[in-house]
Structure 1
Amino acid sequence: MQLSETAYAKINLALHVRRRREDGYHELETLFAFVDAGDRINARSAPQDELRVVGEFSGQLTDPLNNIVAKALSLLPRPDGLSVLLEKNLPVAAGLGGGSADAGAIFRLVRDAFGLPDDWHSRAAKLGADVPACVESEACIGRGTGTELEPVENDLAGTAVLLVNPRLPLSTGPVFANWEGVDRGPLTTGPASKIAREGRNDLVEPAIALCPPVAEVLGELRGGPADLVRMSGSGATCFALYSSHDVMLNAAETLALRRPDWWQLRGRLR
């Protein structure tokens, strides 16, 4: 049995932080979207689960046995083991839910091969707040810590998108800890395009305080022909949406000449 999946890059088209909870987490409202590219996972039947990591950012995963993919495998009962090859194309600690996307892809692999247990959502949530959304990898609203999912009218599917990261990791915890605690209000209602256009990312200022190049990335993207520019998640990756794929490619190539040291991912929203 040979299986393969793309672990689609997650972006937050809007991310509103409403309050700090007594359990230490934050109450969120976010519009999740997914790019049609990301990490790649290949798997085959094996006597027991095993994981190998390759790819540009494989060196950032220093403990494969503690990797979220290994944890996901341990949570999903199956009659056979899986030998998994993870091609790590997404930067780590980048606001793209890379690890969560990998776990979500594992859930889809297991679902297609063996089926998932009825409580798969709660199992996914144990791995991280973004994981339940990453299992389906379709645009949706996330509430609570991000695990309470609601459907959204996805009128942005197919939109050209460019992701840019200054190749600097930015851990989620310190960014949330730097949030100033001001509730600036909920997401608006309507289709994804309206929610994104009228939304914001409440973590951008604390992220810039910890990683000033985020402001440079946002400035470069805003100086081009993008329709919408924003930071994703807790950073440091930022994204830009464009009117067409050709406009996006031209902007990406121009930026690559200006900043060849920055990482890019070009694609379309799912």
Structure 2
Amino acid sequence: MTVKEIAFAKINLALHVRVKRDDGYHELETLFAFVDNGDVLTAQPAEADRFEVYGEFADVLDNPFGNLVARALSALPRPQGLHVTLEKNLPVAAGLGGGSADAGALFRIVEQVHGLPKGWEDAAVRLGADVPACVRSEMAIGRGTGTELEPVKNDMAGMAVLLVNPRVPVPTGPVFAAWDGEDRGPLPKGTARNIALEGRNDLRAPAISLCPQIEDVLERLSQTDPWMFEMSGSGATCFALYDSTEHRDRASRVLAELEPQWWQMSGLLR
């Protein structure tokens, strides 16, 4: 039995940083959304757990055995091992929750093959703040460090999205360290569409201060007449939303001609 799952790329349609906590983390309010494209995990039953990585960004993973998929395998007790292969299509340190998305896909694989063990929610939280949202990969509001999830009316499902990254890794820690500490207010209320349009990403400015290429990506995206564009998470990936796949694909072709060195991925919002 072979099981395949897409590790859906995570984007933040809005990301409000409210305050730095005593434990060093930050209180966040964010609107998680997921693209129907990303890394791909394939798993087969095995006598013992095995984990292999290939794909465009496989070499960027410094320690595959410290990867969140390997850690998730260790965190989920099962009566049988799994041989897991990860096709790494998403850039690393890119604001797309790639490792968390991979772990979320692994949780869904284990759910299909064996069922999830009691306490899996706590295991997801221990793996990372984005992992609980990535397990279901459904649009949601995240509070706290991002692990406290609330439903939201998803009136954006099926919207065409283009992801663009300048191929510059941007680790999360330094971006949060560069945040100016100013609380600019809570998420707007209403549907996902309203939150996305009226919200903001408080990490955009600190990320640009560390990676000026982000501003170039945003400028290029603004010229493609999108419905909305913004940086995702702590960067450096930016996204643009379009009213049709034809509009998105046209923008993608233009960007590929102007900036052929940039990474792109197209999809639809889930």
TM-score normalised by L of structure 1:
0.99
Measure, in 1, the Cα distance between the counterparts of 2:237 and 2:206: 14
Spell out the pairing of 1:1-270 with structure 2 (5 A cutoff).
1-270=1-270
Q: What is the deviation of 1:90?
A: 0.1
Q: What is the deviation of 1:118?
A: 3.0
Measure, in 1, the Cα distance between the counterparts of 2:49 and 2:73: 7
Sequence identity percentage? 63
1:55 is matched by which residue type in structure 2?
A: G
Measure, in 1, the Cα distance between the counterparts of 2:98 and 2:73: 16
Measure, in 1, the Cα distance between the counterparts of 2:247 and 2:80: 47
Measure, in 2, the Cα distance between the counterparts of 1:27 and 1:194: 22
1:208-246 per-residue CA deviation (whole Å, 9 max, x = no partner) reads 000000000000001111010100000000000001110
Measure, in 1, the Cα distance between the counterparts of 2:227 and 2:247: 11
Measure, in 1, the Cα distance between the counterparts of 2:86 and 2:104: 13
1:193-219 per-residue CA deviation (whole Å, 9 max, x = no partner) reads 000000000000000000000000000
Measure, in 2, the Cα distance between the counterparts of 1:68 and 1:224: 35
1:137-182 per-residue CA deviation (whole Å, 9 max, x = no partner) reads 0100000000000001000000000000000000000000000000
Measure, in 2, the Cα distance between the counterparts of 1:258 and 1:214: 15
Measure, in 2, the Cα distance between the counterparts of 1:237 and 1:122: 29
1:192 is matched by which residue type in structure 2?
A: A
Q: What is the deviation of 1:46?
A: 0.6
Measure, in 2, the Cα distance between the counterparts of 1:48 and 1:118: 21
3-state SS in 2 of match to 1:99:
helix
Measure, in 2, the Cα distance between the counterparts of 1:2 and 1:64: 22
Runs of 4+ in 1 over 3 A off after TM superposition: none
2:201 is matched by which residue type in structure 1?
A: N
Measure, in 1, the Cα distance between the counterparts of 2:33 and 2:264: 17
Measure, in 2, the Cα distance between the counterparts of 1:8 and 1:193: 20
Measure, in 2, the Cα distance between the counterparts of 1:178 and 1:52: 35
1:19-45 per-residue CA deviation (whole Å, 9 max, x = no partner) reads 000000000000000000000000101
Alignment RMSD (CA, Å): 0.6
Measure, in 2, the Cα distance between the counterparts of 1:194 and 1:66: 38
1:269 is matched by which residue type in structure 2?
A: L
Q: What is the deviation of 1:66?
A: 1.0
Q: Which runs of 5+ in 1 are unaligned?
A: none
Measure, in 2, the Cα distance between the counterparts of 1:113 and 1:45: 9
How many residues align? The count is 270
Measure, in 1, the Cα distance between the counterparts of 2:92 and 2:65: 16
Measure, in 2, the Cα distance between the counterparts of 1:74 and 1:179: 34
2:16 is matched by which residue type in structure 1?
A: H
Measure, in 2, the Cα distance between the counterparts of 1:180 and 1:266: 33
3-state SS in 2 of match to 1:129:
coil
Q: What is the deviation of 1:191?
A: 0.8
3-state SS in 1 of match to 2:30:
strand
Measure, in 1, the Cα distance between the counterparts of 2:203 and 2:141: 18
Q: Which runs of 5+ in 2 are unaligned?
A: none
3-state SS in 1 of match to 2:96:
coil
